[in-house]
Amino acid sequence: MRAPAPAGRIRVAGQQGLCDRSGALWFADLSLLVVSDLHLEKGSSYARRGSFLPPYDTATTLARLSQVVERFDPQTVISLGDSFHDGGGAARMPEPFRQALATMQKGRDWYWITGNHDPDAPKGVCGESVTEIALGGLTFRHEPTLISVAGEIAGHLHPGARIVQRGRSVRRRCFAGDGRRLVMPAFGAFTGTLNVLDRAYRNLFDWSSFRAHMMGDARIYTIAPTNLHPG
């Protein structure tokens, strides 16, 4: 019997990755950090419709991003789309945040993948905007595709999972993967989740090898489908 692996270690199409409990994904061999669905400026987007969520979501998300960037010190960063909650989000973002972002980006290759919320290149921030990108045998895009692929890393769905244990229900964001495709959790402060047992995921995975890597407070917990519950 081998010793248990450190929490959150995964393989996608042969690449060794680490699901970090912050919700970021780290490929050490590629010095690559991936985050998904930041939904920056979601608060101000809601405010335009008269819903005044606390205007601290961008600050919270960027602070967390900056921590994880500092911790891994990656050469390359990919933001997997829906980085801004709407097309005008980047332009609306207050100056101090723009600077904080620029500081993080300094000396790194930074890719903004376009998403359904932000289909165009973000205005007024550094980094290269692309619809998808291939690195180390992996393909990074916002929405997972239905075609059979090996090595796809996507976001968009905001996966979450739920367990029921001893009469208690625990619901967490999670990384959802079957070894060939991985759907990343949303990183943004005000982002909700969609249960991995929802029909939106049905044709994406080989369920015999599917695992939900749930984000605990202390570490990542890897849960098999038999222990997952819908809702």
| Residue 209 binds other proteins, judged by CB under 8 A | yes
Residue of the chain from 95, 147, 203, 226 that contacts other proteins (CB under 8 A): 226
CB of residue 29 to other proteins, shortest distance in Å: 13
Using CA atoms, how far apart are residues 163 and 202, in angstroms rounded to an integer? 18
| Residue 67 binds other proteins, judged by CB under 8 A | no
| Residue 55 binds other proteins, judged by CB under 8 A | yes
Tokens 């996966």 -> residue: 159
Binding mask 96-135 for other proteins (x = CB under 8 A): ----------------------------------------
Using CA atoms, how far apart are residues 220 and 222, in angstroms rounded to an integer? 7
Sign of CA dihedral 171, 177, 178, 179: negative
CB of residue 106 to other proteins, shortest distance in Å: 26
| Residue 203 binds other proteins, judged by CB under 8 A | no
CA angle centred on 181, ends 115 and 14, rounded to 5°? 125
Given the rule CB under 8 A, which of 2-10, 23-31, 118-126, 133-141 is the region that contacts other proteins? Answer: 2-10
Residue of the chain from 64, 142, 180, 211 that contacts other proteins (CB under 8 A): 211
Helix, strand, coil % over all residues of the chain, rounded to 5: 20, 30, 50
Tell me the C-alpha to C-alpha distance, in Å, between residue 35 and each of 32, 50, 95, 134, 189: 10, 29, 22, 15, 13
| Residues in 140-179 at the binding interface with other proteins, rule: CB under 8 A | 157-158, 160, 162-170, 172, 179
- H/E stretch holding 47: helix 42-47
Please say which residue, 48 or 123, places its beta carbon nearer to other proteins.
Answer: 48
Question: What is the token pair recorded at 135?
Answer: 């690195």
Other beta carbons within 10 angstroms of residue 23's beta carbon come to 23
Interacting residues of 147 by C-beta distance below 8 A, sequence separation 6+: none
Cα-Cα-Cα-Cα torsion 177, 129, 22, 203, nearest 10 degrees, comes to -20
| Residue 231 binds other proteins, judged by CB under 8 A | yes
CB of residue 14 to other proteins, shortest distance in Å: 12
> How many residues bind to other proteins according to rule CB under 8 A?
62
The residue ranges that bind other proteins (CB under 8 A) are: 1-2, 4-6, 9-11, 16, 42, 44, 46-48, 50-57, 59-60, 94, 157-158, 160, 162-170, 172, 179, 189-195, 198, 209, 211, 214, 216-218, 221-224, 226-227, 229-231
